């Protein structure tokens, strides 16, 4: 099963009276057979469907989108995106921007952990969230240290 379906199934499992897939489809405004395609999606569901899923299960849209992107093979590893940033790129970004991105990444990690999903795929996803948080912390630290070195050079 894909990560998108794992999110939906987790929502179903947490309900005191688990709804049927037909009921879930009705709440999402899709045909019942649409859920079948989300178990192992071959193509990315529409934005409207992803937003409806996020609203139904009570998580950020970005969490649902990320799951769908991974399931359909469109998502690159967060590690590759963040680790490939050079120190020079980190310096060019204002620390305020890095702080804001770090805060969002920490929120997404906390949300993911709150879901309590288990299995290799879920653990790998959590590792990617952690890697992104760690990389952003490193960028922020590098940005601060280069800024302070620049100030010291300017003073001399």
**79-109 tens-digit pLDDT:** 344 344 444 444 456 777 778 888 888 888 8
Distance CA 138, CA 113 (A): 22
Counting the structural domains of the chain, the total is 2
How much is the pLDDT for 143?
64
Domain boundary among 73, 92, 121: 73
Pair (9, 68) in one structural domain: yes
Domain boundary among 73, 108, 137: 73
Q: How far is CA 152 from the centre of its chain?
A: 38
Interval 9-40: pLDDT, tens = 888 888 888 899 899 999 999 998 888 888 88
Helix ranges restricted to H, the chain:
3-14, 21-28, 32-39, 47-57, 61-71, 78-83, 87-92, 95-115, 120-155
Pair (106, 56) in one structural domain: no
Pair (67, 87) in one structural domain: no
Question: Can you read off the two tokens belonging to residue 59?
Answer: 């998580």
Pair (156, 80) in one structural domain: yes
Pair (36, 104) in one structural domain: no
Say if residues 56 and 25 touch (Cβ distance below 8 Å): no
Pair (60, 121) in one structural domain: no
Q: What is the DSSP letter of 119?
A: S
For residue 156, the SS3 value is: coil
Q: Is the pLDDT of residue 77 over 60?
A: no
Q: What is the DSSP letter of 116?
A: T
Distance CA 117, CA 139 (A): 29
Pair (40, 83) in one structural domain: no
Q: Is the pLDDT of residue 136 over 90?
A: no
Domain boundary among 42, 73, 104: 73
Residue 50: name the closest of 110, 8, 94, 91 by CA: 8
Pair (67, 89) in one structural domain: no
How many percent of the chain have pLDDT more than 90?
15
Question: Can you read off the two tokens belonging to residue 129?
Answer: 């969230």
Pair (47, 16) in one structural domain: yes
Q: What is the DSSP letter of 117?
A: -
Q: How far is CA 126 from the centre of its chain?
A: 9
Pair (66, 81) in one structural domain: no
Say if residues 71 and 3 touch (Cβ distance below 8 Å): yes
What CATH number is given to the structural domain containing 62?
1.10.260.40
Q: What confidence tier does 146 reach under pLDDT thresholds 50, 70, 90?
A: very low
What is the overall mean pLDDT for the chain? 77
Tokens 């760690």 -> residue = 134
Pair (111, 128) in one structural domain: yes
Pair (86, 139) in one structural domain: yes
Domain that holds residue 88: 76-156
């Amino acid at each position: 099963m894909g990560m998108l379906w794992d999110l939906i199934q987790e929502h179903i499992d947490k309900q005191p009276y688990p709804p049927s897939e037909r009921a879930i489809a009705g709440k999402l405004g899709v045909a019942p057979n649409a859920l079948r395609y989300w178990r192992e999606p071959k193509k990315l569901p529409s934005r409207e469907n992803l937003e409806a899923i996020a609203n139904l299960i009570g998580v950020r849209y970005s969490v649902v989108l990320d799951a769908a992107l991974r399931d359909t093979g469109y998502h690159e590893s967060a590690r590759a995106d963040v680790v490939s940033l050079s120190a020079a790129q980190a310096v060019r970004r204002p620390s305020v921007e890095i702080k804001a991105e770090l805060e969002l990444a920490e929120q997404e990690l906390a949300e993911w952990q709150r879901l309590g999903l288990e299995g290799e795929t879920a653990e790998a996803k959590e590792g990617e969230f952690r890697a992104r948080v760690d990389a952003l912390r490193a960028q922020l630290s590098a940005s601060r240290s280069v800024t302070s070195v620049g100030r010291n050079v300017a003073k001399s």
